[in-house]
Amino acid sequence: MKKDQFCLPDGVIYLDGNSLGPMPKTVSNRVQKTLTDEWGQLLISAWNKAGWFHQPERLGDRLAPVIGAPRGTVVLGDTLSIKVYQALAASLAMRPERSVILSDSGNFPTDLYMAEGLIKTIDRQLQLKVVSPEQVADHLDDTVAVMMLTQVDYRTGRLHDMASLTEKAHRAGVVAMWDLAHSAGALPIDLEGCNAEFAVGCTYKYLNAGPGSPAFIYTRADLAIEAEPALSGWMGHAAPFAFDPAYSPALSIQRMRVGTPPVLQMAALDAALDVWDDVSIHDIRKKSIELCELFIAEVEKQCPQLKLISPRDSAKRGSHVSFAFEHGYAAIQALIADGVVGDFRAPDVMRFGFTPLYIDHNDVIAAVEILENIMTNELWNNDKFKHQAAVT
């Protein structure tokens, strides 16, 4: 438990760290230092003197152990949507004779949108094929160039077996690309062991680096100097400051960089990663399963109105739990008004994330007690809880 290391308002039980992690207390000092001592005093020399230029690779090496990746295979920058595009484009370039991008209907919409957009820019017959999560393995054949999946379903929490699907993909000659948005910082991942070619993810969910923090991209070690960067920006050039008019990618993971990195957000991420120096992701997973099991058992006992839509088997579930309820949006608003923060995903999903860094057994019991009161007394049935805001 590291609860005292996070900024959490009094009286709030925060079950939404799967969407936006809370702020680690060290972040504001660290960002302030970057502003005052680095930008403020060193001005442009901070790119060298404060190490800004190599931050994206340095933080990649810091993050690597949390996602089971070796040094030199991870780099930070841009947003996850952009990193999806890059990894997908690099995957397609590896299979020029194949025409299908295979994904599943549980994928996060932006991943599918980026695939659709990418297809339009490539002068080649390509098709995005979206099947149900259970059917992915059956569709791995020699027409498929790349299997693009998100390991943990953002809605239901269903967990794909990364090792087994990657192996099946490879047997069919398919490139494997994983989105780890709801996995990184939530459960152990063995990227190196599963042998996937590419992985991407964000750092503002379970990694607590704040809104707009940089995304990460992983390239298997043997591809780090081979993968074709689709977004060929100058920061990925072999020698950015040679200002060569012709593009030539760096002979390292640096080739997956695009433009100038968001230095302040990188500083926030650097501070947020301190948490992982003395925390084992295996312990986090074990405790997260205990919290999820407790929550499911208590909700099913006390709130018969809600229907579990997450897998019941903890081995097949990520670190959040979802229940369907017709008036889910209003119920979540009522919960938030009572200090329990979860979120809503259309059409009827109430979603709760369990992050043992700052959520414990007592929080779960207290949250269910509040939920039970709202359900039993239909406190959600109030106009003030029914107005849908821009972000749900």
Ligand X SMILES: *Cc1c(COP(=O)(O)O)cnc(C)c1O
Residue 111 makes contact with ligand X by CB under 6 A: yes
Q: Of the candidates 340, 354, 358, which has an alpha carbon nearest to the alpha carbon of residue 13? A: 340
Binding-residue total with ligand X (CB under 6 A): 13
Q: Which of 6, 154, 204, 325 is catalytic?
A: 204
Q: Do residues 392 and 348 touch, judged by C-beta distance below 8 A?
A: no
Smallest separation (angstroms) from ligand X to the CB of 181: 3
Q: Which of 205, 220, 255, 317 is catalytic?
A: 205
C-beta closer to ligand X: residue 181 or 271: 181
Smallest separation (angstroms) from ligand X to the CB of 371: 24
Q: Segment 345-384, which members bind ligand X (CB under 6 A)?
A: none
Residue 110 makes contact with ligand X by CB under 6 A: yes
C-beta closer to ligand X: residue 149 or 334: 149
Helices (H), the chain: 26-33, 46-49, 55-63, 80-94, 109-121, 162-171, 191-194, 263-273, 281-302, 328-337, 361-376
Q: Do residues 200 and 215 touch, judged by C-beta distance below 8 A?
A: yes
Query: Quick one: how far is CA 236 from the chain centroid?
Result: 23
Active site residue 205: yes
- CA pair distance 324, 312, nearest whole angstrom: 14
Q: Segment 207-226, which members bind ligand X (CB under 6 A)?
A: 215
Backbone φ/ψ region at 219: left (φ over 0), alpha (ψ -120 to 50), beta: beta
Smallest separation (angstroms) from ligand X to the CB of 186: 11
Smallest separation (angstroms) from ligand X to the CB of 202: 5
Smallest separation (angstroms) from ligand X to the CB of 26: 23
Q: Segment 179-198, which members bind ligand X (CB under 6 A)?
A: 179, 181-182
Q: Of the candidates 46, 94, 56, which has an alpha carbon nearest to the alpha carbon of residue 76? A: 56
Sheet (strand 127-131) strand order: 74-76, 216-219, 198-201, 175-179, 144-150, 100-104, 127-131
Give, in order, the Cα–Cα distances in Å from 49 to each of 342, 354, 378.
42, 39, 59
C-beta closer to ligand X: residue 81 or 195: 81
C-beta closer to ligand X: residue 229 or 364: 229
Active site residue 108: yes
Cis peptide before 356 (omega within 30 of 0): no
Candidate list 14, 52, 85, 154; residue touching ligand X; CB under 6 A: 154
* One character per residue 162-181, x = contact with ligand X (rule: CB under 6 A): -----------------x-x
C-beta closer to ligand X: residue 154 or 380: 154
Smallest separation (angstroms) from ligand X to the CB of 290: 24
Run of H or E residues at 179? strand 175-179
C-beta closer to ligand X: residue 85 or 325: 85
Phi first, then psi, for residue 131 (nearest 5°) are -120, 175
- CB within 8 A of 348, min separation 6: which ones? 324, 325, 326, 328
Residue 108 makes contact with ligand X by CB under 6 A: yes
Q: Which of 98, 255, 317, 351 is catalytic?
A: 351
C-beta closer to ligand X: residue 178 or 380: 178
- CA pair distance 236, 251, nearest whole angstrom: 9
Active site residue 113: no
Candidate list 149, 165, 174, 202; residue touching ligand X; CB under 6 A: 202
Smallest separation (angstroms) from ligand X to the CB of 44: 29
Residue 150 makes contact with ligand X by CB under 6 A: yes
Residue 255 makes contact with ligand X by CB under 6 A: no
Three-state secondary-structure class, residue 156:
coil
Q: Segment 44-83, which members bind ligand X (CB under 6 A)?
A: 79-81
Query: Exposed, middle or buried by CB within 10 Å (0-12, 13-18, 19+), for 347?
Result: exposed
* Interface ranges with ligand X (CB under 6 A): 79-81, 108, 110-111, 150, 154, 179, 181-182, 202, 215
Question: Which are the catalytic amino acids?
Answer: 108, 179, 204-205, 351
